[in-house]
Amino acid sequence: MQDWIEKINSSESLEQLEQLRVDILGKKGVLTLEFAKMKTVPNEEKKAFAQNLNTQKASINEALESQKTILMAKALELQLEAERIDVTKFTPNLNHAATHPVADTMAQITSYFQNLNFSVEEGPLVEDDFHNFEALNLPKYHPARDMQDTFYCNDGAVLRTHTSPVQIRTMMSQKPPIRMIAPGTVFRKDFDITHTPMFHQIEGLVIEKEGVVSFANLKFVMEEFLTHMFGDVEVRFRPSFFPFTEPSAEVDISCIFCKDESTGKSSGCRVCSHTGWLEVLGCGIVDENVFKAVGYEKVSGYAFGLGIERFAMLIHKIGDLRSLFESDIRLLGQFR
């Protein structure tokens, strides 16, 4: 009897305890079998025999009950411990945020020119004819105004096709000298491997008293900027045309995809169309007609403009422009 009580008290699980109950009080339990012996006990001893068994049964039941309470409390404690949530715990897996390569490249270029004391200017995305074309020496008959390129709005307004209208707005609202950049979104009706209808540019404009800045200053600033962005590359200026600059140039860097590290020469590849050069920006000396349009006299200056997507693609070696706008988490995840 004392044995059973000890077994009950040292049982470690509710299943074990239930098994003990069956072994003692079940149909074929040891105590049940004792009760069955009643029949064979002489009458005068029956009462004492029964009393003894009943006290034993009562003690067993009491032990079972109290052990059950203890084990249930223990089980609850284990369950709570297993389900415990530490709300202060840091989960690095949730840290999925990353800067988009276009935003990142825009910030890099912006801060480069801010360090050279350029101010950052803004203008509206929906522009009027004067700021987007006319004041930039793009008269009505100019081919760059062709329906192919420009999104026209109903009331004669356009979605700006470049950041150059910010040059006009800044010159008309400030006095020279001016040293500004204008990063922003621009729109053109174009869609293929190298064109998306929405993309980003950075415009630059420097205006000083007549004779202070020259093409040589522009060339130096562009060379410094491009080697800052692309490392050890050659920079070349090609004569070109923009209505708002004269003379104008397009600027190339030696191809960073087929560069031979030992000679530093680019031998030509698919990316540079086997020329060894990559076109990266347009620039020039501000045309006199632009100054006339904004009412400036006795000043000179230079301007430059570049596509941010192009820079981002070259810096990160991204093959298809459109992948920058597909929001594919596998591409974006690489910039974390």
By C-beta, is 146 or 155 nearer to ligand PHE? 146
CB of 255 to ligand PHE, least distance (A): 21
Interacting residue ranges for ligand PHE, rule: CB under 6 A: 162, 164, 203, 242, 245, 282-284, 303-305
- Mapping DSSP to helix (H, G, I), strand (E, B) and coil, where does residue 268 land? coil
For ligand PHE, the closer of residues 105 and 164 by Cβ is 164
CA distance 157 to 155: 6
Tokens representing residue 324 in the block: 């920058």
Identify each DSSP E strand in 148-269 by its residue range. Answer: 158-159, 178-187, 198-209, 235-242, 245-254
Closest approach of Cβ 272 to ligand PHE, in Å?
20
Please identify the residue of the shown chain whose CB is closest to the bound ligand PHE: 305
Q: Please identify, using beta-carbon distances, which residue of 108 and 240 lies nearer to ligand PHE.
A: 240
Amino acid at 130: F
**CB-CB neighbours of 5 under 10 Å:** 16
In whole angstroms, how close is the CB of 268 to ligand PHE at the nearest point?
A: 25
- Nearest distance from residue 163's CB to ligand PHE, in Å? 7
Beta carbon of residue 295, minimum distance to ligand PHE (angstroms, whole number): 20
Count CB neighbours of 88 within 10 A: 5
4 vs 237, beta carbon nearer ligand PHE:
237
Place of tokens 């390129």: 149
Q: Which is nearer to ligand PHE, 225 or 242 (CB)?
A: 242
CB of 284 to ligand PHE, least distance (A): 5
CA distance 250 to 261: 26
Distances (CA, A) of 123 to 131, 160, 169, 276: 10, 9, 7, 36
Cβ at position 263, least distance to ligand PHE in Å:
32
For residue 321, how many other CB atoms are within 10 A of its CB?
Answer: 19
Q: Which H or E run contains 203?
A: strand 198-209
What gap in Å lies between CA 33 and CA 53, rounded to an integer? 11
- Tell me how far apart the alpha carbons of residues 133 and 127 are, in angstroms, rounded to a whole number: 9
Q: Select 281 or 324, whichever has its Cβ closest to ligand PHE.
A: 281
Nearer to ligand PHE, 101 or 284 (CB): 284
